[in-house]
Structure 1
Amino acid sequence: MSLVNDDPRVEHRISKLNGCTYHYLHALPAGGKFVCTVFLIHGWPDISMGWRCQIPVLVDMGCRVVAMDMMGYGGSDAPPVPPNSISLYGLKRAADDIAALAKELGAPKIVLGGHDWGGFVVWRAAQWHPDLVSHVFSVCTPYTPPQETFFSTEDLVKGPLPQFAYQLHLASGEVEKVVHDEHSIRQFLKGMYGAKGPDGEAIFLPERGVLGENLDKIGEGGLLGGEVLDYYVKQYLKHGIHPTLNWYRTRHQNFLDDQALLDKKTITQPVLFIQATRDNVLKPEMSKNMEKFIPNLTRGEVETGHWALTQKPADVNRILSAWFEAQGLVGSKGTGKSSL
């Protein structure tokens, strides 16, 4: 599917939230009436347009849809760190900015969905703002409760999650040295979304990170090409890749913020979790204990890799639609039952 830029229901908007400027996609059903408001939160190295296959379907169901460029990405601000605090890229700040945008848009309740880093954001936003977030869905990203003890990324890599070694590379400052101009950004994005070199060379391995030596080998193919790729490159040229990598430098800050949530480990809202069965980072076994903390959990799965939103959009959208209907958020033919 191409960009949603040519969908008359979708507009680009800018808002100032807690002192920082955010760009977001805002979509309304024809006629402007909607039955619920859905916020969509992307991950790395995605942008709001990463939800391009879901936005039209949700709007068709009668939802108002808001897809944000998160801090450091695309048309949103990218405050430098230092002098600014790394907390600007933390989960607590993201949750508070979501709440600020919901207030600005006059939405007392929102359905909150995320993918990749966006999945981590929506879990915490549901805990920080339980009166705002009525329902939660996450694609690929399992729920991890707040912890009493700090575990560094190094601890995780040496222990249960060796596939998280890429996070050490992304946080190191090395990636910016090789992904820094239009050509390298284009090659990087193509490779991250599945394009390969002539001998199968990859741009990314979970156990290593970004393979800069393969940048110039990456050819065409994968999930990004044509106008979609051009749009992504244009967005990344605004700030470069560095600020997006600040999200991988927030682990201790997020731990500190989480200490206020230690008595809120249970997610009480209705939750949908969609597992990508071939995700080689957020592996299926990582979600096995979610029922312990989420009493109202619905599971779905898609036979694909990490980029489920665009690899298997029909399957993702089918699961989303069925859950929205089962929750009474929309009617069986996209006519809503209640206004949120």
Structure 2
Amino acid sequence: MHQATFPLGPFEPSPHNPILRPHGTGWESTNLYNPAALVVDDEVILLYRAHAADKISRIGLARSSDGIHFRRAGTPVLEPQEPYEQAGCEDPRITHIADTYYLTYTGFDGSTAQLCLATSTDLHEWTRHGPLFPGFNTWKTLPYGPDRPWSKAGVIHPRPLAGRYWMWFGEGTIHAATSTDLVHWTPVADDSHPMYSPTPGGWDGTLVEIGAPPVESGDGLLVFLMNNATATSPEHVDYRCGQIAVATRDPSTVLAKMTQPWLRPTSHEDTHGLVPNVTFVEGLVHFRGRWLAYYGQSDTTLAVAEFDPTRHNWHPPAQDAGNQPSTRSN
């Protein structure tokens, strides 16, 4: 296990950004963003969302020996096939457990977004398991957003906690679910009782959304990279990246959160694109001594931010988050 602390970082955007751009005239010709990430055979693997001008998303695969320069597979590894995803396979997150890859993604039918699951043993051939939470609306407790079934953004921890596997999911608000077989998932509470909600008036005041699968800290915390936003309309948003932590012995309760973002829109690509003013993280890996966080820029290009623990660390106040709820700042 790679040593992690809460908060994780600081991260610095790479001078090589964007590390992947749209190209060609086909399925990834217009926008390319929001990648899942993992390390396989000493390479970083990205599964990224891309589309042409039709905005029908597919999921592509790219490999890198240094975490910066990537070779693309050329054809999508997952693309619309079922009615629930006919308008796009979007925003993947991935976890590797034993000999199986578990990919969560958003199936969009043109009207409703649903969190879906697919599994693979080789990252190229995928078995679909369909929508995970039919009827669940992660926006239910908020006074805006869709008033119909809607779920996105699922991250799975690779080891069981107290005999069950855990997933955290949701756009708008965050919820938890558990499973014994990694395929069938049961929410810990109904959609009226999220475990984490936006902070009124804050930089995370409109919505919160799980980013990358958690990493375990040395003091029994699971550290999550998050996406947080304020919005005056669906077209006018400001997405920044934060962090939260839960205890492994109480995975459905948020114990700590960052009070300031660790990543925010600053570069031209962050502030100009299909949806301006967006940094949106979905992938985190520990690779050759560094933490690499992969994120989308304005829903148009793909970037990475790096944290090298040998160079610098945040030093949060000494506090026993395992014993009492608390808020830590950076």
**So what's the TM-score if we normalise by structure 1?**
0.26
Q: Write 1 or 2 for the structure with the bigger share of strand.
A: 2
Which has a greater percent of helix? 1
Q: Which has the higher contact order (CA 8 A, sep 6+)?
A: 1
The structure with the largest alpha-carbon Rg is: 1
